[in-house]
Amino acid sequence: MTPALEPLRRIAAYAVCTDTEDRVLLVRASPRSGTPGVWSLPGGAVDHGEDPNHTVVRETAAETGISVAVTGLRDVLADMRSLPRRGITLHTDRLIYQVAIRGGQLCHRINQPTDLARWCSLDEAKQLPLRPFTASALGLPPETIDLRPDTAPDFPSFYAVPGPDGLHRAQRFAAYAVATDPARRILLTRIAPGYPGAGRWHLPGGGTDYGEQPGAALIRELVEETGQRGRLIRLLGVASHRDAASLGPEGYPIDWHGVRAFYEVAVDRPAPPIVGDVGGSTSEARWFGNSELTAMPSSELTEVTAEAVSAARLV
């Protein structure tokens, strides 16, 4: 692919919605989209500050006329595709939710990125050109539909743009590890001075690179940030938090929206933690026993850490 394509990133949420006949709800991309005629799960981009749970409900209703409620998180994955007609290469972090039907009536759209909604059996879905992430979510072999660049383009991990309220905005996708050793100690990192949340204990992990899968990212970050080698066990959940006037090393307030996937990770051979990125956002890393974690005031933990520890049932 030509290097002239502009790299972009986005976060999106999608619904796996089935009816009483076990058919799945799919939508077709219109000529206004980057991949006209291709079918996918209903869903779309997460707005700044929006919880992805709300995104999937909003987008499903807009694209299909069906009202849904989120019942669970199925998967988190990333893909990269080139859209030469638009002059862009796009990395999308996709959150796949299971949903239940609440009501509504199937309808189609005119002059929108999708133009047709349909209930399909898996056999019928197999005959359609499906976006790769949709095929994977349905347990079907992914087709080679997307154009992919030969290598991931350069793209900054920090990318803020001016917002309508005068503040710079940054939306960031990150992956974090609820990492435990055979003694069920949990590994936490302390946020360095000068960074939002300074002094609080946080999960090891961080922002994913362009073109990188979240599971691979957190295993990489675990080594770089603490010196520990981990084994990915399972996806625990996704947290969405907004800090509307965060002040960090940039020196000016930023309206941050973080969407963070967190995973259970086993460290089979724990070692004394070593902070590899000296001078970065992590000042310390250490193992905590269950009694220490239970006694720690919630104010000493970041929001995503408290949420992830609860999901992992460690306290």
Q: Between these two residues, 165 and 209, which has the higher pLDDT value?
A: 209
Residue 162 domain-assigned? no
Q: Please check whether residues 265 and 196 belong to one and the same domain.
A: yes
Q: Which CATH number goes with the domain that contains 228?
A: 3.90.79.10
Average pLDDT of the residues in 142-151: 79
Can you tell me the mean pLDDT for 57-86?
94
In a shared domain, residues 125 and 185: no
188 and 96 both lie in a single domain: no
The pLDDT of 247-258, averaged and rounded, is: 89
- Claim to verify: residue 181 and residue 307 sit in the same structural domain: yes
Element (H, E) at 287: strand 282-288
Percent of the chain beyond pLDDT 70? 98
Give the domain-ending residue among 137, 159, 179.
Answer: 137
Q: Is residue 122 part of a domain?
A: yes
Average pLDDT over residues 2-13: 83
Residue 270 contacts residue 204 (beta carbons within 8 Å): no
* pLDDT score at 177: 96
Instruction: Give the pLDDT confidence of 81-119 residue by residue, as tens digits.
Output: 888 888 888 999 999 999 999 999 999 888 888 999 999
Domain boundary among 114, 137, 160: 137
| Window from 134-138, 178-182, 216-220, 277-281 with minimum mean pLDDT | 277-281
How confident is the model over 131-154, as a mean pLDDT?
Answer: 86
Overall number of domains in the chain: 2
Which residues are paired to 68 by β-bridges? 101
Residue 303 lies in a domain: yes
Tell me: pLDDT of 62 over 60.
Answer: yes
How many CB atoms neighbour CB 300 within 10 A? 13
| pLDDT: which is higher, 247 or 221 | 221
- CA 273 to chain centroid, in Å, comes to 27
pLDDT on residue 140: 93
Q: pLDDT averaged over the chain?
A: 92
Residue 236, amino acid = L
Rounded Cα distance, 80 and 154, in Å: 13
Instruction: Give the pTM.
Output: 0.92
- Which domain does 244 fall in, by range? 169-312
Residue 315: pLDDT band by 50, 70, 90 thresholds?
A: low
Q: How many residues are there in the chain? A: 315
